[in-house]
Chains A and B, each alone.
Chain A
Amino acid sequence: MNKFEPLIIGFLCKWCASAAADLAGTSRLQYPSNLRPIMVNCSGFIDTSYILRALLEGADGVLIAACHPGDCHYVDGNLKARRRIAIIKNSIRALSLEPERIRFEFISTSEGAKFARVVREFTEQIRALGPNPLKGDER
């Protein structure tokens, strides 16, 4: 029996989340390989249309990891990201689609363990939700 392997796109900000992911690796913390990471300079770079696109392309989940408020290398990109994610999650919820497929986390450079834990949790959460119905035209 083939277990459903979710595919999760992760947008990791360069200065905090990517460094945390590096730390998780350096510390040899194990987490599921379902995450496909994309490094961006700042979470403020993420527009709602990229998250939507990832879901429509077939990703089962989208993770956006940013610096904690006050720590953003570019001042406040993470706060901008939070608003945009609120809009897309809110909209997805209003349409009774699954807002849990989008997850926004604050992860700082030193939180390698948190990064691994979030990826683990999110992967299992998406596995339980099942494949993303949004991929392709479902009639």
Chain B
Amino acid sequence: MPERIGVFVCHCGKNIAGSVDVNKVRERAAGLPSVVHAEDYVFMCSDPGQDLIRRAIQEKELDGIVVAACSPFLHEETWRNLAKKAGLNPYLVEVANIREWVAWPHSDDKKKATEKAIKMVEAAVAKLRSDKPLQLMRIPVNKSVLIIGGGIAGIQAALDVAEAGLKVYLVEKDPSIGGKMAQLSETFPTLDCPQCILTPKMTELAHHPNVTLMTYSEVEEVTGSAGNFKIKVRKKATFVNWDKCIGCGLCMRVCPVEVPSEYEIGIANRKAIYIPFPQAVPDKAVIDPISCLRLKYGKGCGLCAKECPSRAIDFENNEKFEELKVGAIIVATGFEVMEASNFPEYGSGRYKDVITSLQFERLLAPSGPTQGKVIRPSDGRVPKQVVFIQCVGSRDPENWNPYCSKICCMYTAKQALLYKEAVPDGQAYIFYIDIRADGKGYEEFIHRAMSEQKIIYIRGKVAKIYEEGDKLKVIAVDTITDKKIEINADLVVLATAAIPSPGIQELARKLRLQLSEGGWLREAHLKLRPMETLTKGIFIAGAAQFPKDITDTVAQASAAAAKAISFLTRGYVEKEPLVAKVDEDICSGCGNCVSICPYEAVELTDEGVAKVDEALCEGCGACTAACTAGAISLVNYDKRQLFDLISTLVGR
């Protein structure tokens, strides 16, 4: 309960002083009850500014400070740390935001702005007078990390964390890890074979002693808080006993059912029982219950079980739930590409030869369904005229997504180059709006595509595509020459927009994460903290945050891993003590607070009164409003303080 308060008014150069009479604010502050020191300075956050505060605290024996300056989001922590170093409890610090909330929005009326600034300082002083000194809480943490998503981001992060000696649980919804990178034919600009560089990492991961791989699994429920998360994982039914399955693939040969393959994005089929691709990790089969005859009708078929040499197939619904206790979470759920059927004006969905880039990638892949032979999906002929269209669904705020999907310019150039290698007498056209080639060796790569291989780049948008005979007529405009262009294409490849993985909204809700525009995971700060979220203990990596290429993905994944490791390395986290507390004398045990708490942090004791678990409490205050008696309240923000704030702000 401070009684010797110091008020420090910052000019912020002209930012505050230009619209607020800082002298008047300081004068009025000096006359407030319990204020024994008031000072103003040009830049309070600078070294001399901070020094000024520190000296005042020590010389005037201040037991609380109010800083009237910029937003608490920027510097509340600065003032708290400063107070601590000066020997003052860091929670006896209040901030009055007179820059973002007064000086800047009211710069047209200095008198009114000053009045408002004075009132806000008064209110901050009023609150400070009933603040209590608090201590940071130390909560022991679980030295293990959950990684959601087994693409290159998840794999890299998992390896980094495992190497640091922490335990890793990697949960992946598909039967195998590998993600999009495992579907690629080659990677730009080096034209490396992605399987060759990815598979060793996947195998290392599968055998690492610190890693528990949980594929074909999903996160059901997340409770707890930073350092102590409890995760409920649903291990989907494989209908195959993975302890016995040796990945021989004989079951796939005899299965009579064929359905479009997710891995081949419909370009080819898979069986009802399947291992998604030859280098799958783990190399185990799963049965798809929707297409499997035995599972659909409860009897019949069963050919795979008969064929299986290790008798691993038992059609048992082996869905299981497992509970994990982890200290940190890294979300690396990757991205999807928009389906071609979204663009009927390009004939996609109607014409088999209008496909997405990812589908074309599978045609190019040496290990793909055509062994790298580029053929038309409709009749198997080799296409001699291939049209690539970039920015399909990207950079299109009116119809689709306003953002740029980042990787399409590079991969389209790559695909055109690979096509020319496969079909040397073929012709490739690329319709573009701009070319974005901002990485190391990227510009040179594009140049290679344009000049060496004589791939024709046309700046323009394709208006429509329709079938004429066995060709696809592509109608477009060249915006440089302003001429109409018509191409009789054999195959059209659409570089469709990257979009967040399906199910990200639900997952974000479970983790209480926010999403940015477009549905990407929201980072804590776009510039300075792109691998963290606003939720303590949860980090993000890879395309889940925004489309990016493999280089940036790996960098961000290692960054997220580093953050997670440093978060857990001390074995404890320090938690802000701004939690709820119960006055047991007033509590009538009604349980309103218990039912309203979103973190299940309050419970009724045997004596019939409420009790708060301070490790779980996040300080939202929903309980304090639910309590009709006011028995539960937020530390340093109880109802009386709120009423004082209201009175002070209204008082004339």
Residue from B535, B625, B651 within 8 A of A47 (CB atoms): B625
Q: How far is the CA of A138 from the CA of B92 in the complex (A)?
A: 40
Is there a chain B Cβ closer than 8 Å to A107's Cβ?
no
Say whether A47 contacts B624, CB under 8 Å.
Answer: yes
Contact A19-B73, Cβ < 8 Å, known A33-B102, A44-B620, A84-B625: yes
Q: How far is the CB of A128 from chain B (nearest CB, A)?
A: 19
Contact A54-B106, Cβ < 8 Å, known A25-B99, A33-B113, A33-B115: no
Q: How far is the CB of A81 from chain B (nearest CB, A)?
A: 8
Is there a chain B Cβ closer than 8 Å to A26's Cβ?
yes
Q: How far is the CA of A42 from the CA of B512 in the complex (A)?
A: 14
Is there a chain A Cβ closer than 8 Å to B171's Cβ?
no
Is there a chain A Cβ closer than 8 Å to B284's Cβ?
no
Say whether B116 contacts A36, CB under 8 Å.
Answer: yes
Is there a chain B Cβ closer than 8 Å to A125's Cβ?
no
Q: How far is the CA of A9 from the CA of B649 in the complex (A)?
A: 8
Say whether A45 contacts B621, CB under 8 Å.
Answer: yes
Q: In the complex, which residues of chain A have a beta carbon less than 8 angstroms from the beta carbon of B534?
A: 15, 73
Say whether A54 contacts B646, CB under 8 Å.
Answer: yes
Residue from B73, B599, B621, B650 within 8 A of A36 (CB atoms): B650
Residue from B73, B599, B622 within 8 A of A80 (CB atoms): B622
Say whether A28 contacts B113, CB under 8 Å.
Answer: no
Q: How far is the CB of B108 from chain A (nearest CB, A)?
A: 6
Contact A70-B625, Cβ < 8 Å, known A21-B100, A77-B620: no
Contact A75-B113, Cβ < 8 Å, known A28-B107, A40-B621: no
Say whether B104 contacts A26, CB under 8 Å.
Answer: yes
Q: How far is the CB of B20 from chain A (nearest CB, A)?
A: 11
A3-24 contact mask (Cβ, 8 Å, vs B): 1 or 0: 0000101000001001101101
B114-135 contact mask (Cβ, 8 Å, vs A): 1 or 0: 0110011001000000000000
Q: In the complex, which residues of chain A have a beta carbon less than 8 angstroms from the beta carbon of B639?
A: 47, 50
Q: How far is the CB of A110 from chain B (nearest CB, A)?
A: 7
Is there a chain B Cβ closer than 8 Å to A102's Cβ?
no
Which of B99, B517, B650 has most chain A Cβ within 10 Å?
B650
Is there a chain B Cβ closer than 8 Å to A37's Cβ?
yes
Contact A9-B646, Cβ < 8 Å, known A42-B621, A45-B634: yes
Say whether A116 contacts B105, CB under 8 Å.
Answer: yes
Q: In the complex, which residues of chain A have a beta carbon less than 8 angstroms from the beta carbon of B578?
A: 41
A26-58 contact mask (Cβ, 8 Å, vs B): 1 or 0: 101111110011111110111100100110011
Say whether B120 contacts A44, CB under 8 Å.
Answer: no
Is there a chain A Cβ closer than 8 Å to B400's Cβ?
no
Q: In the complex, which residues of chain A have a beta carbon less than 8 angstroms from the beta carbon of B620?
A: 41-42, 44-45, 73-74, 77
Say whether B115 contacts A80, CB under 8 Å.
Answer: no
Residue from B73, B123, B535, B642 within 8 A of A22 (CB atoms): B73
Q: In the complex, which residues of chain A have a beta carbon less than 8 angstroms from the beta carbon of B187?
A: none
Is there a chain B Cβ closer than 8 Å to A65's Cβ?
no
Contact A50-B646, Cβ < 8 Å, known A74-B598, A74-B618: yes
Say whether B634 contacts A25, CB under 8 Å.
Answer: no
Besides A36-B120, A38-B645, A44-B621, 7 new A-B residue pairs in contact (Cβ under 8 A), listed by A number: A25-B105, A33-B102, A37-B101, A41-B620, A44-B622, A47-B625, A75-B512
**Chain B interface (Cβ < 8 Å from any Cβ of A):** 71-73, 97, 99-109, 112-113, 115-116, 119-120, 123, 509, 512, 514, 517, 534-535, 578, 596, 598-599, 618-622, 624-626, 634, 637, 639, 642-643, 645-647, 649-652
Contact sample, A vs B, 17 pairs, CB 8 Å cutoff: A9-B650, A18-B73, A19-B73, A33-B116, A36-B120, A36-B123, A36-B649, A36-B650, A37-B101, A39-B97, A44-B622, A45-B620, A45-B621, A58-B652, A59-B646, A77-B621, A77-B622
List the 6 closest pairs (A to B, CB-CB), nearest first: A45-B621, A25-B100, A74-B620, A44-B622, A75-B598, A25-B104
